[in-house]
């Protein structure tokens, strides 16, 4: 169990969060979400002890073993990949290394003096006991299994880490954390360098993980598939929501709407009272009532809602004019890098209006295929031919588009693409993608990955291509920017070809799926969900898709079976639902208040010393029961709200 009490963090006048009290329990998986710069990574560093809070405390058992994903692969460059993964279980690894050294050099045990050449049997038995106690002799097998799941084949496990690319090195570090079997996992963007297959494996790993997992991610479907709770960093505080990301988004929006409705209601009360006062203040017969209304106005308190830290860019893509029917023809494409063949006899035809998603494991040739299509890489064999009036816009995974002008300002780099437009046009478009004020004077070479991505999309917006070629467009974007990009691409009237490992992104946009695998190419005309449904129990996440489909069919059948309501019945049902919604809201508030109160008790460092074990167990049981009750109440609340919204829509 990890508990934070009244936690706060500030940098000078900037407050990231304050007054945070949350308990993280074993068996739960928490998705940590929030805008870039809101304090998610800072919060994780506070939990690990790498950074101190400005206020409050973090409490956890002294023997709690933390598994933290780090980025320091350069420390292990010369070590075999498998051994790097095994090192995550540090004590066992050290014991195994020392034991092997003792067997090779009997006088070199940890407690043996240099001149002693006798075998230290006592130290050897200590090491053996430690290894056996921690199941150390299965460590190699566990580490190998984790590496396989993360897409690193067995034949590479004895190779030095330096033989892998940067993304695969980070996979090894993730494997190091997972293989260590920690009590709590703290993972900052673990899916960043994973392909679809490895992300799905990680989901299954986390679903069976018994400890506490706290994960930062910008992957909607990953958060939906793994999370039991969402921890939201916003409004200068951190709030806990039960359920996955979709449930959180609905609950947060509903909570905001409820608060706004309450404020609107109180403002209306004030306005009505003030209108009475203004009308009758001068009349002697109404003076007493007017004074009463003034006192009522003074008693009404309106708490202004804080400003959200979330910022949504606006992406607008329009084609300058339509292309011909045939957009792109690839025929017999082959490409090798040294002895490694990445593409062999690939043929593909892209038609106007296609929204083609190219998916598959990393290293299979997806990005290479796009680079051959746009002319950045030359194929060893085959041809790539663009159709009539096909004006393409390319978004590269490593943002090569801006490297040649890295010393230019953001403003100058964009203006270079549309020299005939006034500066107001340039700044207006930059403002839509969140570059304002002095931001437009930044050198493009100094931009973060997310800023560079937004700038490239801005350039694609103003140049108006009729074919967009996107290579991993979501890699550096936060959740808000990804959602905004989806909305912009949904409204785009041109042709879209993209590579992505983000399944939610693919599911929102694709009307055709091309999977490249070691078995060959599978070209499916249809949406991502239809593609998964056809595969059945597949290697991605068809289980979730099929479950969603079954639920949708049940709801559709229930709606079809229900007779229509007349106006009187509808009004009566609306009143019943509104009353039920208010009851559920009050019950949720009451249960959450009690859970919060218990959290506060547990966070008190002296609590466990002055409280009996039986009483602690009772409180823990009450907390578990109330947390489950909150989830049930929220599920019922969502059903009530959905039915109420449908009745209101039918009335309109």
pLDDT at 55 over 80: yes
Average pLDDT over residues 604-629: 73
Spatial separation of the C-alpha atoms in residues 428 and 475, rounded to whole Å: 25
Q: What is the pLDDT of residues 84-117, one digit of tens each?
A: 888 887 778 777 777 777 777 655 545 444 444 5
Spatial separation of the C-alpha atoms in residues 254 and 246, rounded to whole Å: 12
The residues near 362 (Cβ < 8 Å, ≥ 6 apart) are 151, 167, 168, 193, 194, 195, 198
pLDDT of residue 545: 44
Q: Which of 327, 331, 357 shows the shortest CA–CA distance to 506?
A: 357
Cα→Cα distances 76→72, 95, 146, 173, 241, Å: 8, 19, 18, 10, 39
Band (622; pLDDT cuts 50, 70, 90) = confident
Q: Which residue has the tokens 């409820």?
A: 258
Q: Which of 311, 314, 312, 310 shows the shortest CA–CA distance to 429?
A: 314
pLDDT at 316 over 90: yes
Band (151; pLDDT cuts 50, 70, 90) = confident
What is the CATH code for 326-526? 3.40.50.300
DSSP one-letter code for 15: E
What is the CATH code for 567-651? 1.10.287
Spatial separation of the C-alpha atoms in residues 415 and 435, rounded to whole Å: 14
pLDDT of residue 390: 92
pLDDT of residue 539: 46
- Mean pLDDT of all residues belonging to the chain: 83
pLDDT at 612 over 90: no
Spatial separation of the C-alpha atoms in residues 57 and 68, rounded to whole Å: 20
pLDDT of residue 536: 54
Q: What is the pLDDT of residues 14-53, one digit of tens each?
A: 889 999 999 999 999 999 999 888 889 999 999 988 999 9
Band (562; pLDDT cuts 50, 70, 90) = low
Average pLDDT over residues 313-322: 92
Q: What is the DSSP string of 317-355?
A: ---SS---SEEEEEEEEEEEETTEEEEEEEEEEEETT-E
Spatial separation of the C-alpha atoms in residues 206 and 213, rounded to whole Å: 8
pLDDT at 538 over 70: no
Angle between helices 479-490 and 449-463 (to 10 degrees): 10
Rounded (10°) CA dihedral 462, 466, 467, 473: 30
Answer whether CATH 3.40.47.10 is correct for domain 1-64+183-243. no
Domain positions in the chain are 1-64+183-243, 256-299, 326-526, 567-651
Average pLDDT over residues 348-352: 93
pLDDT at 533 over 70: yes
CA 313 to chain centre: 17
Cα→Cα distances 180→1, 89, 136, 173, Å: 18, 4, 10, 11
pLDDT at 497 over 80: yes
| Helix/strand/coil percentages in the chain, nearest 5 | 50, 20, 30
pLDDT of residue 143: 86
Across 71-75, 112-116, 310-314, 612-616, least confident range: 112-116
pLDDT of residue 556: 56
Phi, psi of 51 (to 5 degrees): -140, 145
pLDDT at 537 over 50: no
pLDDT at 148 over 50: yes
Average pLDDT over residues 168-180: 87
Average pLDDT over residues 307-322: 88
Spell out where 202-339 has E strands.
212-216, 229-234, 237-242, 326-337
The pair of structure tokens assigned to 167 is 């993304």
Q: Which residue would you say has higher pLDDT here, 509 or 235?
A: 509
Band (238; pLDDT cuts 50, 70, 90) = very high
Q: Which residue has the tokens 């070590």?
A: 79
- The sign of the CA dihedral 498, 499, 505, 511 is positive
Q: What is the DSSP string of 465-518?
A: -SEEEEESTTTT--HHHHHHHHHHHHS--SEEEEE-S-HHHHHHH-SEEEEEET
Cα→Cα distances 303→168, 237, 263, 306, 495, Å: 50, 16, 8, 9, 48
Q: Which residue would you say has higher pLDDT here, 297 or 392?
A: 392
Spatial separation of the C-alpha atoms in residues 343 and 614, rounded to whole Å: 65
Q: Which residue would you say has higher pLDDT here, 334 or 339?
A: 334
Spatial separation of the C-alpha atoms in residues 72 and 61, rounded to whole Å: 27
Q: Report whether 476 contacts 452 (CB < 8 A).
A: yes
pLDDT at 471 over 90: yes
Q: What is the pLDDT of residues 357-381, one digit of tens each?
A: 999 888 888 999 999 999 999 999 9
Cα→Cα distances 327→19, 526, 528, Å: 56, 19, 22
Q: Which residue has the tokens 């060893």?
A: 380
pLDDT at 322 over 80: yes
Spatial separation of the C-alpha atoms in residues 266 and 305, rounded to whole Å: 14
Do the domains 567-651 and 1-64+183-243 match in fold?
A: no
Band (610; pLDDT cuts 50, 70, 90) = confident
pLDDT of residue 93: 77
Q: Which residue would you say has higher pLDDT here, 507 or 270?
A: 507
Angle between helices 528-535 and 542-561 (to 10 degrees): 100
Q: Is 229 helix (H, G, I), strand (E, B) or coil?
A: strand
pLDDT at 3 over 60: yes
Q: What is the pLDDT of residues 260-294, one digit of tens each?
A: 778 788 888 888 778 877 777 767 666 777 778 78
Average pLDDT over residues 339-363: 89
The pair of structure tokens assigned to 322 is 């339509």
Query: Percentage of residues in the chain with pLDDT exceeding 70?
Result: 88
Band (652; pLDDT cuts 50, 70, 90) = low
Query: 32-36, 255-259, 327-331 — which one is most confidently predicted on average?
Result: 327-331
Cα→Cα distances 29→24, 61, 203, 587, Å: 9, 19, 11, 25
Q: Which residue would you say has higher pLDDT here, 78 or 496?
A: 496
């Amino acid at each position: 169990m990890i508990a934070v009490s009244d936690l706060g963090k500030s940098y000078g006048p900037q407050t990231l969060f304050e007054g945070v009290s949350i308990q993280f329990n074993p068996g739960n998986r928490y998705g940590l979400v929030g805008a870039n710069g809101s304090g998610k990574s800072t919060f994780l560093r506070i939990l690990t002890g790498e950074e101190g809070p400005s206020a409050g405390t973090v409490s956890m058992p002294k023997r709690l073993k933390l598994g933290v994903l780090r980025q320091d692969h350069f420390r292990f460059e010369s070590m075999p990949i498998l051994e790097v993964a095994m090192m995550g279980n540090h004590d066992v690894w050290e014991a195994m290394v020392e034991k092997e050294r003792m067997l090779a050099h009997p006088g070199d045990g940890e407690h043996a003096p240099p001149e002693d050449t006798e075998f230290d049997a006592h130290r050897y038995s200590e090491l053996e006991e430690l290894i056996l106690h921690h199941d150390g002799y299965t460590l190699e097998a566990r580490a190998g299994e984790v590496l396989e799941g993360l897409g690193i084949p067995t034949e590479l496990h004895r190779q030095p880490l330096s033989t892998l690319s940067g993304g695969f090195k980070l996979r090894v570090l993730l494997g190091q954390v997972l293989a260590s079997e920690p009590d709590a996992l703290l993972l900052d963007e673990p899916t960043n360098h994973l392909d679809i297959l490895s992300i799905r494996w990680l989901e299954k790993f986390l679903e069976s993980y018994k400890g506490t997992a706290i994960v930062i991610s910008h992957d909607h479907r990953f958060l939906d598939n793994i999370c039991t709770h969402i921890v939201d960093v916003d409004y200068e505080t951190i709030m806990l929501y039960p359920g996955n990301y979709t449930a959180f988004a609905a609950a947060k929006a509903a909570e905001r709407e409820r608060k706004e409705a309450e404020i609107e209601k109180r403002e209306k009360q004030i306005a009505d009272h003030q209108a009475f006062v203004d009308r009758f203040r001068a009349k002697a017969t109404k003076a007493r009532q007017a004074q009463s209304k003034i006192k009522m106005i003074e008693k009404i308190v309106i708490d202004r809602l804080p400003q959200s830290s979330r910022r949504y860019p606006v992406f607008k893509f329009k084609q300058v004019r339509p292309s011909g029917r045939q957009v792109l023809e690839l025929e017999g494409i082959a490409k090798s890098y040294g002895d490694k063949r990445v593409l062999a006899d690939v043929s593909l035809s892209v038609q106007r209006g296609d929204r083609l998603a190219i998916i598959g494991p990393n290293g299979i040739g997806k990005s290479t295929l796009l680079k051959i299509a746009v002319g950045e890489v030359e194929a060893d064999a085959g041809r790539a031919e663009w159709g009539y009036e096909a004006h393409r816009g390319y978004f590269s995974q490593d943002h090569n588009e801006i490297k040649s002008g890295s010393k230019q300002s953001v403003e100058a780099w964009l203006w270079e693409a549309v020299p005939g437009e006034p500066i107001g046009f340039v700044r207006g478009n930059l403002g839509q993608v969140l570059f304002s004020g002095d931001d437009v004077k930044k050198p493009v070479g100094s931009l973060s990955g997310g800023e560079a991505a937004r700038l490239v999309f801005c350039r694609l917006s103003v140049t108006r291509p009729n074919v967009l070629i996107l290579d991993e467009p979501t890699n550096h974007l936060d959740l808000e920017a990804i959602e905004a990009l989806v909305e912009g691409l949904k409204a785009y009237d041109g042709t879209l070809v993209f590579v992505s490992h983000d399944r939610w992104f693919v599911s929102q946009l694709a009307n055709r799926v091309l999977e490249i695998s070691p078995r060959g190419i599978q070209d499916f005309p249809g949406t991502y969900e239809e593609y998964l449904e056809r595969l059945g129990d597949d290697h991605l996440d068809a289980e979730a898709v099929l479950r969603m489909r079954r639920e949708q069919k049940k709801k559709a059948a229930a709606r079809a079976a229900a007779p229509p309501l007349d106006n009187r019945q509808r009004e009566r049902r609306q009143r019943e639902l509104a009353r039920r919604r208010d009851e559920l809201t009050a019950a949720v508030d009451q249960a959450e208040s009690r859970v919060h109160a218990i959290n506060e008790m547990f966070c008190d460092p002296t609590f466990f010393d002055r409280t009996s074990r039986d009483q602690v167990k009772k409180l823990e049981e009450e907390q578990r029961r109330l947390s489950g009750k909150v989830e049930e109440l929220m599920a019922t609340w969502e059903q009530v709200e959905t039915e109420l919204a449908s009745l209101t829509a039918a009335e309109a």
